[in-house]
């Protein structure tokens, strides 16, 4: 149980275009999902907290107009990287928790974004 999927696993796009990444909780409902970014040989950094039915909460330094987050249902959150640039190339990972006092976060497999 507690499986989180992401799609796509890899994407290559041209500079200036937008890319959408999906995060799904397959066997549980997640009122809260989290988006992280990981540059090569670095740690994971929290970008934003995605709340179902409300606006996402962004960490300091993360541009909300560039990284659009939509959490339209209890099993799906999407991250759209708008007007992507080469410096946005990174590994994007989402996670979700069961809630109700459970602290463990279940991570998706990640999406490797390359902007050319």
Partner 1 sequence: GENVEQHPSTLSVQEGDSAVIKCTYSDSASNYFPWYKQELGKRPQLIIDIRSNVGEKKDQRIAVTLNKTAKHFSLHITETQPEDSAVYFCAARGGADGLTFGKGTHLIIQP
Between residues 17 and 106, which has the closer beta carbon with respect to partner 1?
Answer: 106
Taking the C-alpha atoms of residue 64 and residue 37, their distance in angstroms, rounded to an integer, is 14
Q: CA-to-CA distance for 56 and 69, rounded, in angstroms?
A: 6
Please provide the DSSP assignment of 55-68 as one string: --EEPTT--TTTEE
Site for partner 1 in 29-68 (CB under 8 A): 32, 34, 36, 42-46, 49, 59-60
Give the C-alpha separation, 14 to 66, whole Å: 16
Assess 91 for contact with partner 1 (CB under 8 A). Answer: yes
Options 16-24, 70-78, 80-88, 105-113: segment touching partner 1 (CB under 8 A): 105-113
Residues of the shown chain interacting with partner 1 in the complex, contacts defined by CB under 8 A: 32, 34, 36, 42-46, 49, 59-60, 91, 93, 95, 103-105, 107-110, 112
């Amino acid at each position: 149980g507690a499986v989180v999927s992401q799609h796509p696993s890899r994407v290559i796009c041209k500079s200036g275009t937008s890319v959408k990444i999906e995060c799904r909780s397959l066997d549980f409902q997640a009122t809260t999902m989290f988006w992280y970014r990981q540059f090569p040989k670095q740690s994971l950094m929290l970008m934003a907290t995605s709340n179902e039915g409300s606006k996402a909460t962004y960490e300091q330094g993360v541009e909300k107009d560039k990284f659009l987050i939509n959490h339209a249902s209890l099993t799906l959150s999407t991250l759209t990287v708008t007007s992507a640039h080469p410096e946005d190339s990174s590994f994007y990972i989402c996670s979700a928790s069961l809630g109700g006092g459970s602290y463990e976060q279940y991570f998706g497999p990640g999406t490797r974004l390359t902007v050319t």
